Amino acid sequence: MAQPQPPIPVKLFMAVIYHDDRLLPELRDILQDHFGDIDYTSPAFPFRYAAYYAREMGEPLYRIFYSFRQLIDPAAIREIKLTTNAIEDAMAQQGRRRVNLDPGYIDYGKLVLASMKFNNQKVYLGKGVWADINLLYEKGHFRPLEWTFPDFRESDYEKALLHIRAKYKGQLRVLQKASAD
C-alpha cells in the first residue's frame, strides 16, 4: 500500500490584468506583504480578450506576471486565491475592480490556476476554490489543453512562463542539495 508523501513545493506566480500601470507599485507592495518577495516581473503583454474586463476596468488592458521567491505547498493555492479576491476588493473603486489577480503555480510538469468558477476539468479545493490545469510542460514548451484560456493558449506568455519555470528548477536543485547535505 502506498504511503502519503509530502508534496514537492511549487512556484507561486500571479497573472495580473490591469488598465492603469500607475497601480503596479502599490500592487507589488501589497502582493509582497502577503506572499513574500517577488523574484521576477514579466514584460506587460497586451490583453486582447478584454470585453469581459474592459467594461469594469477600462481599455486598453494588459497582463503581467509576477513570481515569488518563496516556494509553496500546492495546497496553499486555495487560501492564496481567497486572499487575492480580498486584495481585488480592497483596491476596487466605486465597486469596480482595478486589477484582476489570477494566482497559480508552476511545477515540473504543469501550470495550475486557481479559480472561483466550476468547470468539468477543475478540481475542487474547498471554500469555493477550484484548481485548473491550464498548460502542460513537454519537450521544452508549454502545451495548451482543450480548455486552456485563450490568452494562455497563444505563445505570447511562453518566454515569461519558461523563465519562471527555470527559476523554480534552480530553487528545487538548491533545496535538494541542502537536504542531501
Give me the residue spans of the domains in the chain: 10-180
Q: Quick one: average pLDDT of 119-143?
A: 96
Q: Quick one: average pLDDT of 39-66?
A: 93
pTM: 0.95
**How would residue 49 be classed by pLDDT, with cut points 50, 70 and 90?**
confident
pLDDT at 180: 77
Q: How many CB atoms lie within 10 A of CB 167?
A: 18
Whether residue 50 is predicted with pLDDT greater than 80 in this model: the reply is no
Q: Quick one: average pLDDT of 49-70?
A: 92
Whether residue 92 is predicted with pLDDT greater than 80 in this model: the reply is yes
pLDDT at 52: 81
pLDDT at 165: 98
Cβ density class 104-128: b for 16+ within 10 Å, e for less: bbbbeebbbbbbeeeeeebeebeee
Q: List, in sequence order, every residue forming a beta bridge with 113; answer none if it has no partner.
A: 104, 132
pLDDT at 81: 98
Whether residue 63 is predicted with pLDDT greater than 90 in this model: the reply is yes
Q: Quick one: average pLDDT of 63-86?
A: 98
Number of helices and strands (H, E) in the chain? 5, 9
List the single range of 13-17, 50-54, 85-89, 144-148 with lowest mean pLDDT.
50-54
What is the Cα–Cα distance from 138 to 68, expressed in whole angstroms? 23
